[in-house]
Structure 1
């Protein structure tokens, strides 16, 4: 459990801010993210602020202070949503890692705020598009140690990069292009694992020298939302 007020160095606990200050903090994030990424992150943060439950505390931190002359880092750290992003003097923005953990009830709340459906997840739909393009030999390789990136066609590699953009290309402009080039250069050593259950829940992972990405859906036990096939969602991204 996170403390209600941050100790020195932990940053601003968004849950302890006034509404006006929360709006200011969201405006900072809005200036960094593209429209889709900001809508998702802000919907999650506002949900946590309004219905904190067991995980209300999310800390926003800048280290060192933002500067146009030196590199600096922004971290949003909490159990429901977390993001670490670095800013270089040349304007390059690099998302180093991120995570999102939503219960099925939170999935419903956030998607209602976004006026969309949880079945329209850009992350999962991009993965399904890639998996649907695979031939039987490639699909068989998804199990176990996974399908090696070198086994993908050029068109499938493009779909693969589209998947990674959901976590890498979160900022305005083309800040994620450098990271995607690094991932493309290491296709031969990158693997994809995909596992879908009969109840519709799914797990997939992409792991290689330049990324470790995972997405997992699981149905809650003994709830109405389980009967409606509303999943819990856990997803994370790391740039080694």
Structure 2
């Protein structure tokens, strides 16, 4: 369900998105006191942006900015309007669904995690339609890092984390089902990898099915799948991102682990990775409910999903270098009760 009733009007050009997002950010900042503004605004090249997004709960990895539950209703609405200006209608619905899923778990599950439903908003650089700034919106199952640059008329969402529990997903199988038996065998024999938040990554591709192995129709389905992460803004930004990724798609490697038939009533879900010169996507169906069991609702395997989107050439628009995390922010290992499992997928 939508988390705000404010009317959404999607932009169609990158310039419009940058302008409307900057205006919404300024409107949000205007609702804050001087004391509240201080933790929201960072220098554009502050390395905090690389360590304050995570797929771990807010109580384990500190996020930058102000936490929405600490805001007034007016301020919360203004914060969410920044997301509405930034995202397409479809992407905003996805984000709202992720937030709604966390609220559902908090109210209905056996989880001991107290930070479900907490989301922090921060800006790196002054919001402007003439220079670069980054919007960071982060919680347990959501870590958006969107860099908007009015000087170059460009937007990137790399790196970002989208997750949800409980979850339903079908786009991956539209691509999988388009493959021949031989292609599927190559795909499932490949090396699924996870380049998680807090991991500097060498973006090794490993073995698997390559874009060069695909037909034109299969390539379009793969690009459609990637667009769930790379195409979260307006039509022009999405088209530009798609063209960049398509140009090196032949050198992109896709690997798959887990079920090969979409049937949420059985099995343990799937994991896949897409590793190329200009795109990295990792999708993991977590093997466990993370202590968030709901009677009659599937939240294990199929239903508990973490995903990562990164760009080997352009994370954070090259404004900073990703810093390695420590402790709970590390990319592997089992966190405490109530948190998500470690970030390394089972092959």
Superposed, 1:127-138 pairs within 5 Å as 127-138=172-183
CA distance in 2, matches of 1:68, 1:149: 36
CA distance in 2, matches of 1:59, 1:18: 14
**SS of residue matched to 2:92:** helix
CA distance in 2, matches of 1:227, 1:78: 19
**SS of residue matched to 2:69:** helix
Query: What stretches of structure 1 of length at least 5 have no aligned partner?
Result: 108-117
CA distance in 2, matches of 1:131, 1:46: 29
CA distance in 2, matches of 1:81, 1:55: 12
**SS of residue matched to 2:183:** helix
2:270 is the counterpart of 1:202: yes
- Structure 1 or 2: more strand by fraction: 1
Inter-CA distance 229–179: structure 2 relative to 1 (3 Å threshold): closer
CA distance in 2, matches of 1:196, 1:173: 33
What residue in structure 2 maps to residue 156 of structure 1?
A: 218
How much has 1:38 moved relative to structure 2? Answer: 0.6
- Structure 1 or 2: more helix by fraction: 1
How much has 1:163 moved relative to structure 2? Answer: 0.7
Choose 62-71 or 42-51, whichever is displaced more: 42-51
Inter-CA distance 141–66: structure 2 relative to 1 (3 Å threshold): same
**SS of residue matched to 2:235:** coil
Superposed, 1:87-106 pairs within 5 Å as 87-89=148-150, 90-104=152-166
How much has 1:15 moved relative to structure 2? Answer: 2.4
What residue in structure 2 maps to residue 113 of structure 1?
A: none
**SS of residue matched to 2:237:** coil
How much has 1:187 moved relative to structure 2? Answer: 1.6
Query: What stretches of structure 2 of length at least 5 have no aligned partner?
Result: 1-56, 108-112, 191-206, 260-265, 313-347
Inter-CA distance 20–162: structure 2 relative to 1 (3 Å threshold): same
What residue in structure 1 maps to residue 306 of structure 2?
A: 234
> Aligned to 1:41, which of 95, 98, 104?
95
CA contact (8 A) 1:219 1:231 kept: no
User: What do residues 90-119 of structure 1 show as CA deviations (whole Å, max 9, x unaligned)?
Assistant: 432221121123333xx4xxxxxxxxxx2x
What residue in structure 2 maps to residue 76 of structure 1?
A: 137
How much has 1:58 moved relative to structure 2? Answer: 2.4
What residue in structure 2 maps to residue 190 of structure 1?
A: 252
CA distance in 2, matches of 1:32, 1:23: 14
CA contact (8 A) 1:84 1:96 kept: yes
**SS of residue matched to 1:174:** helix
CA distance in 2, matches of 1:68, 1:126: 34
How much has 1:60 moved relative to structure 2? Answer: 0.9
How much has 1:30 moved relative to structure 2? Answer: 0.6
How much has 1:228 moved relative to structure 2? Answer: 9.4
TM-score computed with the length of structure 2 as normaliser: 0.57
**SS of residue matched to 2:159:** strand
**SS of residue matched to 2:115:** coil
2:54 is the counterpart of 1:54: no
